Every structure is written in structure tokens, then in C-alpha cells.
Amino acid sequence: MLKGVGGLITKPIGGVFDAVSLTAEGTKKTLMFFDDKANEHKQRYPRVFYGDQRFIKKYNKEDAQIMKALFYIENKKFENDVFLDCIKL
């Protein structure tokens, strides 16, 4: 009986502490949501996949810039086209 009465007192107190702790954690996460994120700003353009088999070459900044430009022309008109290579003149 003593164990039951002890639980009657300690369980609600423990619940209050849990509620306060979880509320504080949720508030902290909400306030930190708008902080700068590590990968928010990309350092380079995405890698280009070449040909029908979509194979990978060594990263080429110029190819990546061209592919990104083609991707945004006329509402992604060239999104499903195959990129073969870039030739400089």
C-alpha cells in the first residue's frame, strides 16, 4: 500500500517535469528553425551525368553551369534531354 501511495505522488510530479522539459525542447527547436543551416548554400553546381547510360566523369564546373542553365530554360524544357559533352571554341 505504501508503494501505491508513493506512486500516486511521484508519477504526477514526474509527468509535470516531462511536460516542462518537452515544451522547452519544442520551443528551442522552433526558435532555431530560422538559424543558418550548414548546407543551405551550395558551394558548387550539381554533377552532370553524361549520355544515355548517365555515366560520371571528373567534375567539370563549366559543364555543370551549362546543365543548370539548360535545366531552367523555358520551365525545364530540357530536363529530360541527354547531356553528351561540352566543347569550348
Taking all residues of the chain, what is their mean pLDDT, rounded to a whole number? 80
Q: What is the Cα–Cα distance from 86 to 30, expressed in whole angstroms?
A: 45
> Residue 45: its pLDDT value, please?
79
> Residue 70: its pLDDT value, please?
78
Is it the case that residue 74 has pLDDT exceeding 80? Answer: no
Cβ 5 vs Cβ 11: under 8 Å? no
The ranges assigned to domains in the chain are 1-36, 42-89
Q: Quickly tell me which residue has 531552367 as its cell.
A: 72
pLDDT digits (tens, 9 = 90+) for 9-48: 888 999 999 999 999 999 988 888 777 666 666 677 777 7
